[in-house]
A and B are shown apart, each in its own frame.
Chain A
């Protein structure tokens, strides 16, 4: 009798044990949170700006000199100073400089540099990959998910739009002297130096 009971009980115990060990429950919010944790673009962007971008901006070529070199020796200047994660004609440069504000509109401020060149600093359209790509620090091989890479640009730009441009826009006026650092995009096959738009990483009014 006991042997017969054991014969039926044993498979039941095995099935119950397998079932218990095969099924587990997790809270949905914990699963969602762990999915989000995979890559934190906001934290990455903040760390990148603080630890790498500002330092790269400090070592960037002066805008006046860079523009002169682009006019006179475009090929070697692209080779020496530009970077991009994409292959193709779009390249990015880091630069720094100073100038006097000559005009302000809804989207930009315009500066006259010591070499009498007019440059445009974006205050509204802070978008694109200029600040991500220009220093040449981030490698495409560090990212297996393309959207993570896109989100890095979006988050860098968001930080600049939140922390850098609003306090600057509230104080800047025509005649202000400004020290700036940032990045700009240039098409190496059709170079147009008249429409350069610098995406700022730092902006400081000195008077």
Chain B
């Protein structure tokens, strides 16, 4: 009799535990690991992800990798050890970050990539990425039209280890290279960094004073290149094209200082990543491996439809 009573009590306790499970789920936390907080675009991405996590009822914490994969590894180890249930991740290096994603997977912590991809199909649960290639095709078309199919131009590349750098460059060249009148006189990396872009552009202008245009892999570099052109007294003659939709470039397009940019939507990417993590916690498992987010061409013709990092509602 006593034995049956014990079994009964055990069953009651077990069912009571099941009832409490949703409350435990509410206590799940999301780690937001971003490549750098030294660029306002990534600050916005991280803060939007944190805001969406909060809206969904989860705690979150932002980790800054400072463009350093070793630091990124530390963040992953800390996040896993501290019991974070999902990682919303903006990778530093498409190859170098793979090991971190796989480490999280081994610990059964889902990873949702935002904006930048990692070179593994199986590592991340889903990768929500800007369609950088197609966006650069649009910028490239406007570039050719603006340049009337001829002129000398410079290309400033981003971080060479980041896939976005090459997607943007390839998309741009997939169109521009059809026009032999457009000659690329220099192509150099400025690591997506404004100050470095200014230095690189200054040295390029010394070797190639007859430049007509600059295509930059992001807006920070576009602003750096523009500063170098101002210093050289060429800002009115040389056209600058960027990519991102950052606040200062949106303003610069309004003032006719920058010709165009490819507007990305960090809000869409960050919110989708947080929503996917929430759905994962609730049991969903069939996520698309990669989701591209459309990039829109912004010029002086349509600038009034846009604000920094997105579109006016």
How close is A199's CB to chain B, nearest CB, in angstroms? 12
Query: A86 and B167: CB pair below 8 A?
Result: no
Contacting A141 at CB < 8 Å: which of B268, B288, B294?
B288
**Nearest opposing residue in chain A for B306, CB measure:** A190
B302: CB under 8 A from chain A? yes
Contacting B291 at CB < 8 Å: which of A127, A129, A140?
A140
Which residues of the partner chain A approach B170 to less than 8 Å between Cβ atoms?
147, 150
Contacting B294 at CB < 8 Å: which of A90, A144, A150, A190?
A90
Which residues of the partner chain B approach A183 to less than 8 Å between Cβ atoms?
none
Instruction: Give 1 or 0 for each of A164-207: 1 = CB within 8 Å of chain B CB.
Output: 00000000000000000000000101100000000000000000
Query: A146 and B121: CB pair below 8 A?
Result: no
Query: A86 and B175: CB pair below 8 A?
Result: no
Query: A190 and B302: CB pair below 8 A?
Result: yes
Query: CA A127 – CA B143 in complex, angstroms?
Result: 13
List CB contacts (< 8 Å) of B224-267 with chain A. Answer: 265
Query: CA A85 – CA B272 in complex, angstroms?
Result: 16
Known: A146-B129, A146-B292. A88 touches B137 (CB 8 A): no
B311: CB under 8 A from chain A? yes
A74: CB under 8 A from chain B? no
Which residues of the partner chain B approach A146 to less than 8 Å between Cβ atoms?
117, 129, 133, 167, 290, 292
List CB contacts (< 8 Å) of B261-313 with chain A. Answer: 265, 268, 272, 288-296, 302, 305, 311
Query: CA A87 – CA B294 in complex, angstroms?
Result: 6
**Nearest opposing residue in chain B for A107, CB measure:** B145
Which residues of the partner chain A approach B272 to less than 8 Å between Cβ atoms?
87
Query: CA A185 – CA B265 in complex, angstroms?
Result: 18
B134: CB under 8 A from chain A? yes
Interface centre among B167, B268, B290 (most CB of A within 10 A): B290
Query: A88 and B174: CB pair below 8 A?
Result: no
Instruction: Give 1 or 0 for each of A120-150: 1 = CB within 8 Å of chain B CB.
Output: 0000010111000000000011001011001
Query: CA A90 – CA B170 in complex, angstroms?
Result: 21
Instruction: Give 1 or 0 for each of B114-140: 1 = CB within 8 Å of chain A CB.
Output: 000100010000000101011001101
Which residues of the partner chain A approach B171 to less than 8 Å between Cβ atoms?
150
Interface residues on A, range: 20 to 34
Query: B134 and A129: CB pair below 8 A?
Result: yes
B196: CB under 8 A from chain A? no
B61: CB under 8 A from chain A? no
Query: B292 and A86: CB pair below 8 A?
Result: yes
Instruction: Give 1 or 0 for each of A74-109: 1 = CB within 8 Å of chain B CB.
Output: 000000000011111110000000000000000000
A56: CB under 8 A from chain B? no
How close is A114's CB to chain B, nearest CB, in angstroms? 30
Which residues of the partner chain B approach A88 to less than 8 Å between Cβ atoms?
265, 268, 293-296
A112: CB under 8 A from chain B? no
A67: CB under 8 A from chain B? no
B183: CB under 8 A from chain A? no
List CB contacts (< 8 Å) of B92-123 with chain A. Answer: 117, 121
A154: CB under 8 A from chain B? yes
Query: B290 and A150: CB pair below 8 A?
Result: no
Contacting A86 at CB < 8 Å: which of B134, B137, B141, B144?
B134
Interface residues of B (CB under 8 A from A): 117, 121, 129, 131, 133-134, 137-138, 140-141, 144-145, 167, 170-171, 174-175, 265, 268, 272, 288-296, 302, 305, 311
6 pairs of A and B residues whose beta carbons are closest in the complex: A88-B294, A86-B294, A90-B294, A86-B292, A150-B133, A190-B305
Interface residues of A (CB under 8 A from B): 84-90, 125, 127-129, 140-141, 144, 146-147, 150, 153-154, 187, 189-190
Report 22 cross-chain contacts, Cβ distance below 8 Å, ordered by A residue: A86-B293, A86-B294, A87-B291, A87-B294, A88-B268, A88-B295, A89-B294, A89-B311, A127-B140, A127-B141, A127-B174, A128-B134, A128-B141, A140-B290, A140-B292, A141-B288, A144-B121, A146-B290, A150-B133, A150-B170, A150-B174, A187-B296
